[in-house]
């Protein structure tokens, strides 16, 4: 996990928490707040925050006020406005060819990934996609996904995670495929028109069009354009992941223990954490979000 942005994200998180507390407390102490300027109220609340542990009710309100997943709850997913599903499959096939040139794929642990992954795939919001799981030989703890249903997990991650934790990572990656995150990124890239046109013309994997497109896609993979996601996309994949793994019958607590393991690795040797975690919201925030989502699921919402 790359925590170069840790201080910035930590302070952002704190700011947003402060804002939530301001909202809750301003409702509770509306009379008092009327007598203060906003700055003074903020100072009051910040000083009281260290002394007063939030009550159960306030914690529940925090969750309601600050639903990090509110944008995703009613989302509907399709390829409308993006590459067609047929072209997405062709793109995925070409990208996977480039992956095999850059990484060492192995059969070690593949049965396990396939078993856990297909279970999560069936209960995902895109169950008709044909998902293909791959294991990459690497000391980095990492996972990523590509259009067309390709999901990659490293051998180091497989050693670290039990089946439930593995399910959380796989369901998260499937979430990126459900939400078409890489397709959306591709569409915003300069090379999009060229690639969309060539993919449409592509009938097989041989020939000069395939070679040209291979070069362009290889460069995209190298620059991690398609595997790096925005923080909002990561939140969406976490949301789809925790819901998806629960529907598949895995204990969603596995997502929390996975994040905790990653936190420990990060403290011990952050060079072991790959890109999967570099652009993500920090682990503390993800644990907090996952906890409140599990509580929401238990309440049947």
Angstrom CA distances, 25 to 39, 49, 58, 288, stand at 14, 10, 9, 21
CB proximity list for 273: less than 8 A, separation 6 or greater:
1, 2, 140, 141, 142, 262, 265, 266
Q: Is residue 239 within 8 Å of 293, Cβ to Cβ?
A: yes
Q: Is residue 158 within the footprint of Zn ion (CB under 5 A)?
A: no
Q: Which stretch binds Zn ion (CB under 5 A): 195-203, 205-213, 228-236, 263-271?
A: 228-236
State in angstroms the smallest separation of the CB of 229 from Zn ion. 5
Q: Which stretch binds Zn ion (CB under 5 A): 68-76, 108-116, 218-226, 232-240?
A: 232-240
User: Which residue of this chain has its Cβ atom nearest to Zn ion in the complex?
Assistant: 237
Q: Is residue 137 within 8 Å of 106, Cβ to Cβ?
A: yes
State in angstroms the smallest separation of the CB of 283 from Zn ion. 13
State in angstroms the smallest separation of the CB of 49 from Zn ion. 32
Q: Is residue 171 within the footprint of Zn ion (CB under 5 A)?
A: no
Note the residue count of the chain: 301
Pick 113 or 210: Cβ nearer Zn ion: 113
- Only one residue has tokens 């009281």, namely 48
Q: Which of 21, 135, 237, 242 binds Zn ion (CB under 5 A)?
A: 237
- Only one residue has tokens 């629960």, namely 246
Q: What are 264's two structure tokens?
A: 């420990």
Among 173, 233, 285, 288, which one carries the catalytic annotation? Answer: 173
* Catalytic annotation present for 173: yes
Give the separation between CA 270 and CA 220, rounded to whole angstroms. Answer: 25
Q: Which stretch binds Zn ion (CB under 5 A): 53-61, 159-167, 202-210, 231-239?
A: 231-239
Max Cα separation, the chain? Answer: 75
First to last CA, the chain: 32
- 105 DSSP β-pair partners: 136
Pick 2 or 209: Cβ nearer Zn ion: 2
State in angstroms the smallest separation of the CB of 223 from Zn ion. 17
Q: Is residue 178 within the footprint of Zn ion (CB under 5 A)?
A: no
Q: Which stretch binds Zn ion (CB under 5 A): 28-36, 76-84, 233-241, 282-290?
A: 233-241
Angstrom CA distances, 203 to 87, 99, 146, 149, stand at 10, 20, 20, 19
State in angstroms the smallest separation of the CB of 61 from Zn ion. 29
State in angstroms the smallest separation of the CB of 238 from Zn ion. 8
Pick 41 or 185: Cβ nearer Zn ion: 185
Size of interface with Zn ion, in residues (CB under 5 A): 2
Q: β-strand 105-106 against 132-136: which pairing, if any?
A: antiparallel
Residues making contact with Zn ion (CB under 5 A): 234, 237
The set of catalytic residues is 173
């Amino acid at each position: 996990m790359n925590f170069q942005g840790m201080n910035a994200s930590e302070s952002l998180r704190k700011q947003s928490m402060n804002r939530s507390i301001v909202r809750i407390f301003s409702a509770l102490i509306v009379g008092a707040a009327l007598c203060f300027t906003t700055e003074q109220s903020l100072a009051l609340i910040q000083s009281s925050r260290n002394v007063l542990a939030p009550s159960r009710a306030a914690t529940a309100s925090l969750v309601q006020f600050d639903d990090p997943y509110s944008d995703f709850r009613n989302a509907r997913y399709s390829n409308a406005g993006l590459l067609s599903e047929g072209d997405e499959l062709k793109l995925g096939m070409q990208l996977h060819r480039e992956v095999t040139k850059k990484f060492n794929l192995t059969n070690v642990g593949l049965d396990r990934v396939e078993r856990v992954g297909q279970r999560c795939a069936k209960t995902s919001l895109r169950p008709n996609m044909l998902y293909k799981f791959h294991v990459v030989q690497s000391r980095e703890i990492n996972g990523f996904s590509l259009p067309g249903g390709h999901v990659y997990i490293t051998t180091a991650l497989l050693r670290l995670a039990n089946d439930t934790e593995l399910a959380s990572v796989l369901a998260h990656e499937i979430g990126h495929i459900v939400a078409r995150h890489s397709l959306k990124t591709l569409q915003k890239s300069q090379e999009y028109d060229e690639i969309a046109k060539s993919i449409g013309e592509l009938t097989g994997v041989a020939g000069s069009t395939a070679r040209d497109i291979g070069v362009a896609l290889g460069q995209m993979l190298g620059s991690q354009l398609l595997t790096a996601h925005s923080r909002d996309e990561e939140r969406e994949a976490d949301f789809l992941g925790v819901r998806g793994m629960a529907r598949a019958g895995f204990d969603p607590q596995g997502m929390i223990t996975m994040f905790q393991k990653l936190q420990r690795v990060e403290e011990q040797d952050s060079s072991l954490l790959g890109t999967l975690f570099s652009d993500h919201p920090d682990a503390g925030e993800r644990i907090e979000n996952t906890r409140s989502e599990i509580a929401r699921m238990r309440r049947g919402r």
